[in-house]
Structure 1
Amino acid sequence: MASRPPKPPLPPPAERKLSRLKLLWRFARAYPVQLACALAALGIAALTTLAIPQGLKMVVDNGFARGSDPAAITPYFAGLLGLTAFLGAATAVRFFFVSWIGERVVADLRKAVQTHLIGLDPVFFETNRPAEIASRITSDTAIIEQVVGTSASLALRNTVMGIGGIGYMFWVSPKLTLLMLLVIPLTMGPILLLGRRVRDISRTSQDRVADIGTMVSEVLGAIRIVQAFTQEGREAARFGAAVERSFDTAKRRIRLRATMTALVISLVFGAITLVLWRGALDVIDGTLSGGAIAAFVFAAAIVAGAFGTLTEVYGDFMRAAGASGRMEELLNARPLIRAPDQPTALPQPPHGRLEFSHVRFHYPSKPDVAALKDFTLTVEPGETVAVVGPSGAGKSTLFQLVQRFYDPEAGSLALDGVAYTAADPQGIRQRLAVVPQETVIFAASALENIRYGRPEATEAQVWAAAEAAHADQFLKELPEGIHSLLGESGTRLSGGQRQRLAIARAILRDAPVLLLDEATSALDAESERLVQAALDELMKNRTTLVIAHRLATVRNADRIVVMDKGRIVATGTHDSLLAAGGLYARLAKLQFDQIAA
């Protein structure tokens, strides 16, 4: 079999390394002023915290040394109060800017991912579940938001205080500080050993959360089927099992992080206790002042707290690295269908001439079944061509290719003499208006739904399109008329009303090429008659390709193309095809006999 275009699945799961967080830096560096303010406030707050031990040393060595004179000790406590007030102000500024950056980075990341996703071709969404992708955009960015808005600030602040605190301790007592530094490598051991396992379990935990989001979206989207088949209990049990799997994974992660935190804090505070024992002996010997040992203890507590916090946020960074990697995987996905570097402009004014030349095509998800085989067809400007045939004949595939959701493996398509592969896909689609069999209604107003393909249209133009599609009457009866919200997938409308709304959308589009996929299939007899009259008027002077399941709707087509198993088996008018016998005549006999019965 001929070679097929490669499928573009998501890349394999990225390794959870801290280097994956570079993606977040790409977004954060777009705000240098806020970053500078956050870093400055963070540095000031950290240094102010480190100044407190020195203030404490002065209080002990100078204030208490002067006996019972209250005036002697007051200035030192006043200085400490000033430091704490300054620390509070710097912390507030740091919190504001760091939180702002966190929210801004996540908002920009979500927009970037969504903008990128809507530019990918349908092949990507055949191999990757949209519900899982939606979960990535929500749950993974929530993790990233926590790290950028909170954990990153804690990590930077405690790194500064840890390093600065060790420096201060060395200035107070080099001997005691060197003793403490001997045990710091011991605290790194649990981080390195357990951190890798925390990282892996964090990725698994995120996957479990994504599974939950996918299941919720799937079940609620099909709630009527679930209830119609009385499967509420089964779906609740299935969801409960998914939640428990997520909880079990989270418990493993929590146990590991708790163990790592306990080990590190025990080692750090154990080291401090042993060092302070040595310091107490130095105070007794007179080689160290009482103020110095008090300052050293306070600074040691700051350093211990800093290392403890760094241990805790390390796990957050690992989770964020996994989440960032998943976001990067989405951003790195590349569409197979894209504009060439120098696209050929479509001619003006448009004519609407469609050409298929020896097209062969397999769907990526069905590589063993040819959807089209050596398909050749030319639709002249203004011509109405109906495509009929049994299910699986390849009719819908033609629409997929005309809209350039896929490219054929062999052969070519052209619009107004310009090859599809040479043109910008958006330029091609701007010349098409589509009425699908499965009508898509957005959770917006009727007005916004109708002018979806022509956002600049006025309300008067929208009403004119609605009247042409015979949708104006039911729109006027809605609570807020054309401004009424239609609900998720148009749940406030009947099937026929949704179809007429889609036809109004296509009428307003006013494109030179119309693609009608059994546009009247969901209408009752009276509505079908009215809408068919509107479509007949709309199709004048436009190239129209119609997929027809009910042959009675295409009797007046200029040409009828009969397809079977991806090939054209007959072409002609309704009368000539009936007279010739064959597949069309058999299909017509079956349908018309059913109508007569």
Structure 2
Amino acid sequence: MQSSASELSAHQETVNKPKTTKRLSILLELTRFIRPYKGTVIAAVIALIFTASVMLAVGQGVRLLIDEGFAQQSYEQLRQAIFFIFGVTILIATGTFFRFYLVSWLGERVSADIRLAVFNHVITLHPSYFEANGSGDIMSRITTDTTLLQSIIGSSFSMAMRSALMFVGALVMLFATNIKLTLIVMASVPFVLLPLLIYGRKVKALSRKSQDSMADVGSYAGEAIEHIKTVQSYTREPEERRSFSNEVEKAFLIGKNRIQQRAILIAGVIIIVFSAITGMLWVGGSDVISGQMTGGDLGAFVFYAILVGTSLATISEVFGQLQQAAGATERLVEILQVQPHITPPTNTAVSASTLTAEVAFDNVTFHYPSRPNQAATKALSLKAEQGKVLALVGPSGAGKTTLFELLLRFYDPQSGTITLGGVDIRQIDPDDLRQQMALVPQQPALFSHDVYHNIRYGNPRATDEEVIEAAKKAHAHEFIMKLPDGYKSFLGAKGVRLSGGQRQRIAIARAILKDPKILLLDEATSALDSESEHHVQQALQTLMQGRTTLIIAHRLSTIQHADKIAVLDQGKLIDSGSHSSLIASSELYQRLVELQFKQLQ
């Protein structure tokens, strides 16, 4: 699978510059999330049509009130008109209840489904995607954008449909009541559409900028809070306050501009609509005085004209919200359209559980997508024999961690092959492949949960007894029992309540519980004190028994017991052999050992 540096660069540009859609048609992407609830949609539409139809009947009640009640000076006619209007009001309230409940439920349900779909998709994406897209921006899309869509689906769509129905129905009633006055009202419609078209586009662009700026604010705050100890130890609080203030102010200015454009849009529509109604009242009032129409007809006409005006004003307001929703939908669809680069084989996959635990890198060359002109590995060939320990040593940037990431298929090499039991790992389903391995990194990832959850992450089906047994093998049981709630103790974000050695032993217990064929240890003891290292080394000895083990290590205590040591530098294999043979043959290895001795003195 060959790929040039220019192709990698082009791919990175694709990741960084996702496709954008400038039209409201992007909202049609939401239909696939709404479709499963078509029964609810139909019920909501029926309630909506019912409510709009009954609302139009109020105009006839106004006509009866004026012509039969006031004009005839009849208490009986007045009473009937009042009861008619009251009955219609009850029906409107009933219809509104069902419409509001059904549409709001739909908004909640669909936004939850979208949030779930985006998260489920995000966790399948290749690591290079996260090199180009910050976690804060992704979280903003999953939370803020879906919350906005919840409001749009649960409220704005309903308002738009109701207003559209009211507009059409009221317009029909206007023509039925007085054609001449209706033509006066209709003359204002083109003037209403003009600001919708002009300012609508501006609102759409500003909505996207506003959402992006809020994502930046969230990312900045999250990063500062995550590294709060570094911020405080360097007394950088004033600078962080100023920088965050700049981010917030930038977001505020964009939001203010967006609000200003929407306000202009709404105000312009209201002025145009009610100017037309004022003109209509002058002409209609003249016709009542001259006897060409009754006061009841004029009252009904005014009611329907106000319905037309308010419906148009509502539509113009909702139009701005839909522009904002289009920006949110666009950002969510961008994520959903990203295709994972690491996919299962198209043909029948080879079962990893049937293969031997022998790992081989054959002439592997790899460039990270974010560094297309710099090779992380160059034509590297290396083998880890089944049941043996292979140690990887070399200076920083030699490509040691890269080999782990390639073996786990977080990335695929541009050339060469990586095999498990003689089979190219691209012929194995990535989930099946990773199930055979356990990674214990230098900085273990612990979750904001209890000890049980963190160890059981290696095997979700494990019993409490199996978790405790794994902790004992990892030399972690003793300190766990001293925690306030033992195995049910909450560890805090990233295991902040534990020391480095304790976090490392929790990670080892997790790996023991997974019971993998292949063990990947990434400098598992480099940051520990002597006592912690002693406990971790004992736990590692238990963990490595009978397993193929690849170790990235700097400490001699970890290197010396290895069956084979591979010396890497700048992505190339410099030499390999035992500790004693490398001392005699490899200058780079000699230098690394000398540095170790100096550090120990």
TM-score, with normalisation over the residues of structure 1? Answer: 0.97
Alignment of 1:355-434 (within 5 A): 355-434=360-439
- CA distance in 2 between counterparts of 1:386 and 1:269 reads 81
Residue among 55, 59, 66 paired with 1:49: 55
Residue among 538, 557, 563 paired with 1:558: 563
Matched, 1:63 2:69: yes
Measured after TM superposition, the shift of residue 300 of structure 1 is 0.8
- CA distance in 2 between counterparts of 1:355 and 1:370 reads 19
Matched, 1:225 2:226: no
Listed one character per residue, the Cα deviations across residues 218-263 of structure 1 (whole Å, up to 9, x for unaligned) are 1111111111111111111111111111111122112211112111
Secondary structure in structure 2 of the residue aligned to 1:31: helix
- CA distance in 1 between counterparts of 2:533 and 2:300 reads 88
Kept in 2: contact 1:10–1:333 (CA 8 A) = no
Number of residue-to-residue matches in the alignment: 595
Corresponding residue for residue 460 of structure 1: 465
Q: Percent identity of the aligned residues?
A: 45
Corresponding residue for residue 137 of structure 2: 132
Matched, 1:473 2:474: no
Measured after TM superposition, the shift of residue 12 of structure 1 is 3.3
Measured after TM superposition, the shift of residue 86 of structure 1 is 0.9
Corresponding residue for residue 31 of structure 2: 25
TM-score, with normalisation over the residues of structure 2? Answer: 0.96
Measured after TM superposition, the shift of residue 476 of structure 1 is 0.6
- CA distance in 1 between counterparts of 2:20 and 2:288 reads 54
Alignment of 1:279-294 (within 5 A): 279-294=284-299
Corresponding residue for residue 501 of structure 1: 506
Runs (5+) with no aligned partner, structure 1 = none
Listed one character per residue, the Cα deviations across residues 524-548 of structure 1 (whole Å, up to 9, x for unaligned) are 3233223322322321221111111
The aligned amino acid for 1:20 is I
The aligned amino acid for 1:15 is T
Pair 569,339 (structure 1): closer, same or farther in 2 beyond 3 Å: same
The aligned amino acid for 1:363 is Y
- CA distance in 1 between counterparts of 2:195 and 2:560 reads 78
The aligned amino acid for 1:137 is I
Listed one character per residue, the Cα deviations across residues 278-334 of structure 1 (whole Å, up to 9, x for unaligned) are 111221222211111110011111111111111111110001001101100000011
Measured after TM superposition, the shift of residue 9 of structure 1 is 1.0
- CA distance in 2 between counterparts of 1:75 and 1:92 reads 26
Kept in 1: contact 2:475–2:538 (CA 8 A) = no
Moved more, 25-34 or 343-352: 343-352
Listed one character per residue, the Cα deviations across residues 147-177 of structure 1 (whole Å, up to 9, x for unaligned) are 1111111100001001110101111111211
Moved more, 427-436 or 273-282: 273-282
Listed one character per residue, the Cα deviations across residues 179-203 of structure 1 (whole Å, up to 9, x for unaligned) are 2111211111111112111221222
Alignment of 1:115-194 (within 5 A): 115-194=120-199
Measured after TM superposition, the shift of residue 483 of structure 1 is 0.9
Matched, 1:85 2:86: no
Corresponding residue for residue 3 of structure 1: 4
Measured after TM superposition, the shift of residue 348 of structure 1 is 4.1
Measured after TM superposition, the shift of residue 586 of structure 1 is 2.1
The aligned amino acid for 2:522 is D
- CA distance in 2 between counterparts of 1:13 and 1:29 reads 25
Corresponding residue for residue 199 of structure 1: 204
Moved more, 245-254 or 155-164: 245-254
Secondary structure in structure 2 of the residue aligned to 1:390: coil
Listed one character per residue, the Cα deviations across residues 23-73 of structure 1 (whole Å, up to 9, x for unaligned) are 222211210111111111111111111110011112222223332x42332
The aligned amino acid for 1:533 is Q
- CA distance in 2 between counterparts of 1:31 and 1:96 reads 14
Runs (5+) with no aligned partner, structure 2 = none
Measured after TM superposition, the shift of residue 581 of structure 1 is 4.5
The aligned amino acid for 2:362 is S
- CA distance in 2 between counterparts of 1:230 and 1:533 reads 39
Measured after TM superposition, the shift of residue 500 of structure 1 is 0.8
- CA distance in 1 between counterparts of 2:179 and 2:445 reads 73
Corresponding residue for residue 497 of structure 2: 492
Corresponding residue for residue 329 of structure 2: 324
Kept in 2: contact 1:20–1:324 (CA 8 A) = yes
The aligned amino acid for 1:28 is I
- CA distance in 1 between counterparts of 2:193 and 2:395 reads 68
Listed one character per residue, the Cα deviations across residues 68-88 of structure 1 (whole Å, up to 9, x for unaligned) are x42332122111101001101
- CA distance in 1 between counterparts of 2:36 and 2:3 reads 47
Corresponding residue for residue 592 of structure 2: 587
